[in-house]
Structure 1
Amino acid sequence: MIAGVGTGAMTEVEVLACLSSLRRHQRAGQRSPHKSLLVLYVLGQLVATGSSAVAWSAAVEKLADLIRDHGTPSVTPPGQRAAYPFTRLRSDGIWILDRDVPMDRVQPLTANRVVGRLDPRLEDALRDPEIAAAAARYLVEAEFPPTVAPDVLMAVGLDPDTILTTTDRFAAARPRRSSWTAAVLTAWNRQCAFCGFDGQLGAATVGVEAAHVRWFNFGGPDDPDNGLALCSLHHKLFDRGALGLSLGDDLRIAVSASFTSRTNTGQAVYDLHRRPLNPRPGTPSPAEAHVVWHTREVFKGPALTSGPVR
């Protein structure tokens, strides 16, 4: 029984309110997208097959990959990380397991061939394509920045072009500062703070974007010391955790040891490692608190052990 929802078919507003109440461990800005990733994965299964039922044996590898690629850095074994949302989502009243197994334990899930599925009323509501799109959009935008959201949707088998152009009535309560993007680009001379790319098309800047160090949807402010101008490639790599910043006497770029590339173009990313940021006079460097957050919650550490010093 879904708490706080009346009888009859669930409306879009009820579905979104239900998903917004998922219990997440987000103390002091910590990310915990595990439950949302499970719901998105199951939603992709529902859209593809008409059923939200997924066996643990079929879900564990995919869910572990999703958490590895889009969750926070962790040394916890992949199967264990997948077991957390698969068992704990029950406490939110929207997820049902066909066996009563302990929280967080892999062995009982495997031994009992456990199958999970969404609450039948929620599943029925999500068979409506518009409600399903609104639910997917809410979950992915609550957990990830715009550079990463399409990757997550594609990974669970949902169409980003459909999902991210859908409108819904569950608008974010926190407004964005409309002048922030232009201010960040201007502060960094409209060039990438990492590689210096400064593309222009006529009078317009192209391929250079304003990036939050601490993500906006996790309390990151639209302040100058939470912004970098980055080219589209390095913005994406920064938000995916392949690139980060290291604190010391000065701020330097860090490249994750998990990042690999086979081509000369891709290997140019390695050359960024330990390159210092050189903001123009008067431009604030990213604040230490925001860099610490990005390192803890996003960067896929450890960093490369060596690299060029400039």
Structure 2
Amino acid sequence: MSTRQEVLERLTSLRLHQQTGRRAPHKPLLVLLALGQITRGGSSELPWSQAQERLSDLIAEFGPASKTGRAQSAAYPFTRLRSDGVWILSRNVPMDLVGPLASHNVVGRLDAATESALRRDPELVRRVARALVEQHFPPTIAPDVLTAAGLDPDDILQAPGVTPIPARRRDAAWRAAVLQAWDRQCAFCGYDGQLGHATVGVEAAHVRWWAFDGPDSPDNGLALCVLHHKLFDFGALGLDDDLRITVSAAFTARTVTGRTVYDLHGRPLRPRPGTPVPAGHHVAWHRREVFKGDPLAV
């Protein structure tokens, strides 16, 4: 029988193909999907016929841009999570291959001891899920990740934190300093709403995410309105080497309001004199690890 602490450590210490700041959320997304299965039906069982669509959707939406096919992207974590000792398949198939998964209708699930511990302890499910989203995603999109995995974000994000005290300490003054440096207005659209003396709807955004060694430094921050902050963290918006705004060709909108995002494409940042602009290496990280695909054609 696995203890709560053992399950927490096993599911939040997955071996990831992660180096030099590269994102690899594939296994965590599969675990979140399995937790969603347990929450809804009491079992983590996930047939490949379902995982191929649901997991590939999660990876495409919340993972870095990839030229790998959708089914192939899902096959990687579905077969490789076995090496972490928390995932079993109904048939022993080779790593990474889509064909055997489909032809044998393979079913994956968390190992019996882990699943039993999670079924007995709904609070443990919440803690694991919260730890995984906090480790791999910024707060702007964590609720969307949980919802897509079949979990209730309001429930999960209120769970007690389980992440160990980080070696790096957050700079409590960073957010206020970024807003002030950018005149408390969105660096992309210029929105500058205030209610009394309080700035409303404008946030300090990391270019390189904190979870991936992004520092609380002036050259890693932008003031962005809530909408453009979320689009930036989703990878719908980015920056080029000349610090002009780019809009992903994968982004679409039909209404007049939604299509105003297209108007941002090619617009230069216009910081006030003396404001540090995002450093090139942070911009390059965002373009490689977050921005979705190619930018709109000029």
Structures share a fold, TM > 0.5?
yes
The answer on 1:29 being equivalent to 2:33 is no
Instruction: Tell whether 2:17 aligns with 1:14.
Output: no
* Structure 1: tracts of 5 or more residues without a match: 1-7
Q: Which residue of 2 aligns with 1:269?
A: 261
Given that 1:16 and 1:170 are in contact with CA atoms closer than 8 Å, whether structure 2 keeps it comes out as no
Q: Which amino acid aligns with 2:175?
A: T
Pairwise CA RMSD: 0.9
Residue by residue, what CA displacement relative to the aligned partner does 1:248-282 show, whole Å, maximum 9, x if unpaired?
A: 3xx10000001000111110000000000011111
Aligned equivalents of 2:163, 2:282: Cα separation in 1: 28
Q: From 82, 88, 98, give the equivalent of 1:106.
A: 98
Letter in 2 for 1:231: C
How far apart, CA to CA, are the structure 2 residues paired with 1:82 and 1:29?
21
**TM-score of the superposition, structure 2-length normalised?**
0.98
How far did residue 172 of structure 1 move?
Answer: 4.1
Match for residue 181 of structure 1 among 175, 178, 187: 175
Q: Is the 8 A contact 1:10 1:121 kept in 2?
A: no
User: Counterparts of 1:50-199 in structure 2 under 5 Å?
Assistant: 50-127=42-119, 128-173=121-166, 174-199=168-193
Q: Tell me, yes or no, if the aligned pair for 1:214 and 1:291 is still in contact at 8 Å.
A: yes
Instruction: Tell which deviates more after alignment, 58-67 or 160-169.
Output: 160-169
Amino acid at match of 2:160: T
Structure 1 counterpart of 2:112, one-letter code: P
Structure 2 unaligned regions, length at least 5: none
Contact 2:131 2:162 in 1 (8 A): no
Instruction: Please give the secondary structure, in 1, of the residue aligned with 2:20.
Output: helix
Q: Determine the structure 1 residue equivalent to 2:198.
A: 204
Distance (Å, rounded) in 2 between the aligned partners of 1:184 and 1:76: 37
Contact 1:96 1:116 in 2 (8 A): yes
Distance, in Å, in 2 between the alignment partners of 1:118 and 1:155 is 19
Count of residues in Structure 1 that have an aligned counterpart in Structure 2: 296
Code of the aligned partner of 1:52: S
**Kept in 1: contact 2:221–2:278 (CA 8 A):** yes
> Match for 1:78: what amino acid?
R
- Following superposition, the deviation at residue 75 of structure 1 comes to 1.1
How far residue 168 of structure 1 moved from its aligned partner, in angstroms, is: 3.1
Q: What is the DSSP-based 3-state SS (H/G/I as helix, E as strand, rest coil) of the residue aligned with 1:284?
A: coil
Tell me the distance in 1 between the aligned counterparts of 2:7 and 2:174.
33
The equivalent residue for 2:285 is 293
1:240 to 203, 223, 234: 234
Poorly superposed stretches of 4+, deviation over 2 Å: 168-172
| Secondary structure of 2:132's aligned partner | helix
Checking the alignment, whether the CA contact within 8 Å between 2:86 and 2:110 is kept in structure 1 is yes
